[in-house]
């Protein structure tokens, strides 16, 4: 019974998704699944046919009294041409269909396409939205999209970081984020997301907290909902500096820095503000605004005692929003007595 259920899961179930995939929610998902199912079914049919024939012949021509060994035939042109041409034809079908859908996936449409920046950094995602019609620049934790709109993601990771890869199963798309390089990926959502959002994973093993490098994708019906979603996620201007710093810590720093004195990948922030910081090279720096700012923009400039160079931390840079972010981080650190 379980076996039969398992087999029925192999059937392509269309837009509703299947055993293997969530519902098809982008413009390339149906093509992707078609190619996947085609290859899967070709493999299943040939596997069953070849194993079945092997077993059948093993039994039929087994050694037993009264049966003499057959002389092995050395050549059969018709058979050989058939078993060469049939697989060739099937492979050509697979090749052309896959190529068609691959080109669909890598060729952005000509119509208006919204460009957004994706930064993958140990161990979180940042989606940067700026320009019209949003007004202002926002660094979001989650990906916000409008149904039917085409998007071009320009993706990267900071210089000393490691490889990451953005995978959105509902969209059937995946692209690497390479330190110090830019990659592009376009997509067009065709379905609204469920209330909790679609999943977004990092699919390139990237260290300690790789498994925490997950987030959500929201697909909205209208532009107004989309802008509201972005502002709710990435707007720090409305918060007072301490709360802003707390939000920044949660979004960017908490995978490595605790605020309760516990050890992490980096030193805890608790009780550090205003102290003298011993560095790995034996010198001492005041733990103040300059030290914090420098540590964030250039982690390798000063290495804290007990840590090695190169720092596990890669630089953070919020561009024109830097003052807003540092103001918040510093105000929050001051509260961590
Ligand atoms: Cu990662």
pLDDT of 149 > 90? The answer is yes
At residue 186, the pLDDT reads: 96
CA of 325 to the centre of ligand 1 (A): 23
The protein residues having their C-beta less than 5 angstroms from ligand 1 (an ion) are: 164, 202, 206, 213
Give the lowest-confidence range in 4-18, 22-36, 221-235, 268-282. 4-18
% of the chain with per-residue pLDDT over 70: 95
CA of 157 to the centre of ligand 1 (A): 10
At residue 7, the pLDDT reads: 46
The mean per-residue pLDDT over the stretch 281-298 comes to 94
CA of 122 to the centre of ligand 1 (A): 6
At residue 110, the pLDDT reads: 87
C-alpha span between 82 and 269 (Å, rounded): 71
Contact, 219 vs 193, CB < 8 A? yes
CA of 161 to the centre of ligand 1 (A): 10
**Tens-place pLDDT, residues 179-206:** 999 999 999 999 999 999 999 999 999 9
Q: Can you tell me whether residue 271 is helix, strand or coil?
A: coil
* Total residue count of the chain as it appears in this document: 337
Continuous H helices in the chain: 2-8, 29-60, 77-106, 223-234, 241-248, 289-297, 322-335
C-alpha span between 93 and 28 (Å, rounded): 19
CA of 204 to the centre of ligand 1 (A): 6
CATH architecture for the domain at 113-234: Sandwich (2.60)
CA of 101 to the centre of ligand 1 (A): 27
286 φ, ψ (degrees, to nearest 5) = -70, 135
2-65+73-106 is classed CATH 1.10.287.90: yes
Continuous H helices in 107-222: none
CA of 197 to the centre of ligand 1 (A): 20
CA of 26 to the centre of ligand 1 (A): 23
C-alpha span between 184 and 164 (Å, rounded): 14
At residue 236, the pLDDT reads: 87
Distances from the Cα of 40 to the Cαs of 25, 37, 171, 190, in angstroms? 21, 5, 20, 25
Which residue spans of the chain are classified as CATH 2.60.40.420? 113-234
Which residue spans of the chain are classified as CATH 1.10.287.90? 2-65+73-106
Question: Please, what's the largest Cα pairwise distance for the chain?
Answer: 98
Give the lowest-confidence range in 72-81, 160-169, 199-208. 72-81
Domain 241-335 CATH (choose: 1.10.760.10, 3.40.50.2000, 3.30.360.10, 1.10.30.50): 1.10.760.10
Which residue spans of the chain are classified as CATH 1.10.760.10? 241-335
CA of 306 to the centre of ligand 1 (A): 25
Continuous H helices in 61-110: 77-106
CA of 320 to the centre of ligand 1 (A): 26
Q: Which of 334, 151, 176, 173 is nearest to 242 (CA)?
A: 334
CA of 211 to the centre of ligand 1 (A): 8
């Amino acid at each position: 019974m379980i076996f039969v259920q398992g087999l029925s899961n192999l059937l392509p179930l269309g837009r509703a998704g299947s055993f293997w995939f969530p519902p098809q929610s982008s413009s390339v998902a149906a093509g992707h699944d078609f190619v996947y199912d085609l290859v899967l079914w070709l493999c299943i049919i040939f596997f069953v046919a070849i194993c079945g024939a092997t077993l059948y012949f093993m039994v039929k021509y087994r050694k037993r009294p009264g049966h003499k060994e057959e002389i092995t035939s050395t050549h059969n042109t018709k058979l050989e041409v058939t078993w060469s041409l049939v697989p060739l034809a099937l492979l050509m079908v697979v090749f052309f269909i896959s190529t068609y859908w691959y080109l669909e996936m890598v060729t952005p449409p000509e119509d208006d396409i919204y460009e957004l920046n994706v930064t993958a950094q140990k161990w979180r995602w940042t989606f940067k939205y700026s320009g019209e019609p949003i007004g202002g620049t926002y660094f979001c934790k989650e990906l916000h999209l409008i149904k039917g709109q085409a998007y071009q993601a320009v993706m990267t990771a900071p210089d000393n970081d490691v490889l990451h890869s953005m995978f959105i199963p509902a969209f059937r798309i995946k692209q690497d984020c390479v330190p110090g390089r830019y990659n592009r990926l376009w997509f067009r959502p065709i379905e609204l997301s469920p209330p909790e959002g679609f999943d977004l994973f990092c699919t390139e093993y990237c260290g300690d907290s790789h498994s925490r490098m997950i987030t959500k994708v929201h697909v909205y019906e209208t532009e107004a909902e989309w802008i509201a979603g972005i502002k709710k996620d990435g707007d720090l201007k409305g918060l007072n500096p301490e709360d802003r710093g707390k939000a920044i810590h949660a979004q960017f720093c908490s995978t490595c820095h605790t605020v309760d004195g516990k050890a992490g990948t980096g030193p805890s922030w608790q009780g550090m503000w205003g102290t003298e910081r011993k560095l790995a090279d034996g010198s001492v720096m005041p733990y103040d605004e300059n030290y914090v700012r420098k540590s964030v923009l250039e982690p390798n400039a000063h290495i804290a005692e007990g840590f090695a160079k190169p720092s596990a931390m890669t630089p953070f840079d919020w561009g024109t929003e830097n003052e807003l972010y540092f103001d918040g981080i510093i105000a929050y650190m001051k509260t961590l007595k």
